[in-house]
Amino acid sequence: MTIKKICGIGAGYVGGPTCSVIALMCPDIRVTVVDKSKEKIAQWNSTKLPIYEPGLELVVKKCRGKNLFFSTDIEAAIKEADLIFISVNTPTKTFGIGKGRAADLKYVENTARMIADVATSDKIVVEKSTVPVKAAESIMHILRANHKPGVTYQILSNPEFLAEGTAIDNLINPDRVLIGGEDSPQGREAVEKLCKIYENWINRDKIFTTNTWSSELSKLAANAFLAQRISSINSLSPVCEATGADVTEVARAVGLDSRIGSKFLQASVGFGGSCFQKDLLNLVYICECLNLPEVAAYWQQVIDMNEYQKSRFSTKVIESLFNTVTDKRIAMLGFAFKKNTGDTRESPAITVAKNLLDEGAVLHIYDPKVEEFQIIDNLSAFDIDNIKNRVNIYHDAYSATKNTHAIVLCTEWDEFMELDYERIYVQMTKPAYIFDGRKILDHEKLQKIGFIVQTIGKRVSRIAVSKTWGSSTQM
């Protein structure tokens, strides 16, 4: 039997784009994406999708109503499916054992119980959510303990490696597809069926099959390695600032070694996103549970370095503005955790905004894709006085920067490189500061305009002549 019907449970950043691309590449398979959130499903069925992802709209438009369906009828979709992807959220636990570190598997568990409740035929259940090692085993226990007579299950681990902002390209041209399954004839048969789906558009030599546990651990390891590279380069940024080295030059020199490679060595205000911190915390927790404190400490340091970088950047802003930002207007350009997404989960901008608000600043925030309610919601999580009057959201960079004392750039949106900084400078309070947390601006040009420029991993200070002051200022 080949797979004819797929059900994707969870219509979020992973499930939505993944199922849409499968529908695009496999016209003979009927793909139904379900979610318990009515609003989300309504958005997937509308012209304004719930997530912004370049290219996604086109894919959805092409397939929706043909072989791609979005629905809240979870039971019906499970019942008719041959294969079920679980792509529900796995946040870090906020209470109980493993609080703040372990992955909260309640959504995965609920899904497994629901499948066991309603399935009346054999199913291949594929975990796509990032889950701790041995989670597949828990799903298996739930399914097999509750199975109906004659209904069998195979559980596969098929972690998703897409990055937001490039999800569609990552799904269409992945570096590899990883499938882990049980080492038994039935397990191998299930792996083979999932391979066949991917083979509709991906070469077999890019499909890597392993046992379930290797697959689960590889996902955590891949994210931990990527985050570690960023923390490693970020750790060198204060060394560069203190010595006069330039972290971009160092990264380039290091990355030219083919054993190291050039990717993911961009020093920044810190990494964000829903995966890196969560997966690192999860890895640390697993190591602690396995009584491997040295290994846990090693990976914990990657997170600690990221926290240090975010607070170091905020401190730099405050110190440069004469050690006080109380009542100063600061423009924040960018709020998403990276460009080309509207996602703010774990965005370094949130930490920077909080630190500035704690010091009494008034923020003018602009991000091309993050919705106003999202920013307010993120910042309302903190106990900050009078937040409504101190956080102002703008819809373009020029209005956001008007009459501000400083610009703090937190997301590397392309449009920030193309702004007319002469125009911005004229309408700012002087001396006008720019803190480039992503190293994307032309610092020399900005200095010529009159800005005082600070960035990460490079000393940009010099004697600048302020146009309006007409005197020399030592920086």
| Residues near ligand UDX (CB under 6 A) | 160-164, 223, 226, 230, 264-266, 268, 271-273, 275-276, 337-338
Nearest distance, CB of residue 116 and ligand ADP, angstroms: 13
**Number of residues in the chain:** 475
For residue 285, give every residue at least 6 positions away whose Cβ sits within 8 Å of its Cβ, in sequence order, or none.
98, 101, 102, 132, 296
Residue count at the site for ligand ADP (CB under 6 A)? 21
- Regarding 88 and contact with ligand ADP (CB under 6 A), the answer is yes
Using the rule CB under 6 A, which residue among 32, 67, 87, 237 binds ligand ADP?
A: 87
**Residue 308 touches which of ligand UDX, ligand ADP, none (CB < 5 to 8 A by kind)?**
none
**Residue 135 touches which of ligand UDX, ligand ADP, none (CB < 5 to 8 A by kind)?**
none
**Residue 11 touches which of ligand UDX, ligand ADP, none (CB < 5 to 8 A by kind)?**
ligand ADP
CA atoms within 13 A on the CB side of 127: 33
Whole-number Å distance between alpha carbons of 269 and 225 = 18
Nearest distance, CB of residue 142 and ligand ADP, angstroms: 13
For 59-78, the DSSP string reads: HHHHHBTTTEEEES-HHHHH
The DSSP bridge partners found for residue 393 are 365
Using the rule CB under 6 A, which residue among 15, 98, 174, 342 binds ligand ADP?
A: 15
Measured over the CA atoms of residue 70, residue 71, residue 72 and residue 73, the dihedral's sign is: negative
Q: Which stretch binds ligand ADP (CB under 6 A): 28-36, 173-181, 253-261, 427-435?
A: 28-36
- Regarding 306 and contact with ligand ADP (CB under 6 A), the answer is no
- The amino acid present at 22, given as its one-letter code, is I
Nearest distance, CB of residue 65 and ligand UDX, angstroms: 29
Nearest distance, CB of residue 344 and ligand UDX, angstroms: 10
For residues 81 and 87, the answer to whether their CB atoms sit within 8 Å is: no
Binding pattern to ligand ADP, positions 263-302, x when CB under 6 A? -----------x----------------------------
Q: Which two tokens stand for residue 64?
A: 């929706």
Going along 135-270, which residue ranges are E strands?
153-157, 177-181, 207-211
Q: Which stretch binds ligand ADP (CB under 6 A): 35-43, 132-140, 221-229, 265-273?
A: 35-43
Whole-number Å distance between alpha carbons of 197 and 21 = 11
Binding pattern to ligand ADP, positions 39-78, x when CB under 6 A? -x---------------------------------x----
Using the rule CB under 6 A, which residue among 6, 7, 14, 464 binds ligand ADP?
A: 14
Burial class (CB in 10 A: 0-12, 13-18, 19+), 301: middle
For residues 158 and 128, the answer to whether their CB atoms sit within 8 Å is: yes
| Helices and strands in the chain, H and E counts | 18, 16
Q: Which stretch binds ligand ADP (CB under 6 A): 7-15, 186-194, 195-203, 320-328?
A: 7-15
Task: Identify whether 7 is a catalytic site residue.
Answer: no
Whole-number Å distance between alpha carbons of 33 and 347 = 27
- Regarding 10 and contact with ligand ADP (CB under 6 A), the answer is yes
**Residue 201 touches which of ligand UDX, ligand ADP, none (CB < 5 to 8 A by kind)?**
none
Pick the closer one to ligand UDX by CB: 18 or 404.
Answer: 18
For 25-65, the DSSP string reads: H-TTSEEEEE-S-HHHHHHHTSSS-SS--TTHHHHHHHHBT
The backbone region for 165, taken as left when phi is positive above 0, alpha when psi lies in -120 to 50, beta otherwise, is left
Token pair 């080295």 in the structure block, residue: 245
Nearest distance, CB of residue 175 and ligand UDX, angstroms: 9
Nearest distance, CB of residue 64 and ligand ADP, angstroms: 17
Distance set, CA 3 to CA 22, 189, 190, 268 (Å): 12, 12, 10, 44
| Candidate list 63, 275, 287, 410, residue with the active-site label | 275
Q: Which residue is nearest to ligand ADP (CB)?
A: 12
Nearest distance, CB of residue 273 and ligand UDX, angstroms: 3
Using the rule CB under 6 A, which residue among 20, 43, 67, 129 binds ligand ADP?
A: 129
Catalytic residues: 275
